[in-house]
Amino acid sequence: MEFRPCIDIHNGRVKQIVGSSLKDAGDTAEENFVAEKDAAFYANLYRSKKIKNGHIIMLNPPGSEYYEATKSQAMKALSAYPLGLQIGGGITPENASRYLDAGASHVIVTSYVFRDGYIHFENLNKLVKETGREKLVLDLSCRIKDGDYYIVTDRWQKYTDVILKEETLDMLSDYCDEFLIHAVDVEGKASGIEKELVRMLGNWNKIPITYAGGIHSFEDLRLIKELGKERIHATIGSALDLFGGKMKLEEVIDYIEQ
């Protein structure tokens, strides 16, 4: 188990938002925290702490008036911590190499592959051909529907027909180096983790998985260690002191390394 840091960028600012509130129309979101510091500040901090494999998420789509400002922040973070951070948000075969050349260790992909309710294997194969499996992270962010966790896309608003289960992980692990999994229903709410999701992920052990969503206490970290069998990495957003929360970064690092 590792701590995986995050830098979420929306409208050109580092923020923590309620994930399910994100809307492309008007570039709106319910905000938990808006940073005074830029993305490079956080990248330099993570570099100084030797925390690797965190992720930058660009939350504005390419058509947004804020996209270039958000992208500029992301590029500064990559420059500050070469090969220390992954990046996601609008990744396609046409731009993936640009981010890798700028210093990203991996690119993170959701909507280019999961769209209109389906897995687009043609697109997935194009990405793998462009980046190599070893540079690709698939974001399998999910929400509960009818008792199952379904992969969601389009700012986490649209359900695909793909249920996140061990068979799904088996199939998709052939195409990527890691999975990033946001539990969207609790993302940004600091209300506790999705225990059954973490338990399922912990029972599967083929490639690395980072879990995000609802972590707000050291009891949550203990549950991830226990239910995830120390196999599942964790990222903390709104509950971390860097983003206005009560969990101190140093204590989180120490706890996970125990």
The DSSP annotation for 221-257 comes to: HHHHHHHTTT-EEEE--TTBGGGT-SB-HHHHHHHHH
pLDDT of residue 131: 97
pLDDT of residue 101: 98
pLDDT of residue 26: 63
pLDDT of residue 54: 95
Indicate the SS3 state at residue 83: coil
Q: What's the pTM?
A: 0.93
Q: Which residues partner with 23 through β-bridges? A: 28
pLDDT of residue 53: 94
pLDDT of residue 21: 62
Average pLDDT by stretches of 10, the chain with 258 residues: 95 79 63 87 97 93 91 98 96 97 97 88 97 97 93 82 95 97 78 91 96 93 96 93 94 93
- What are 254's two structure tokens? 């120490």
pLDDT of residue 129: 97
pLDDT of residue 22: 63
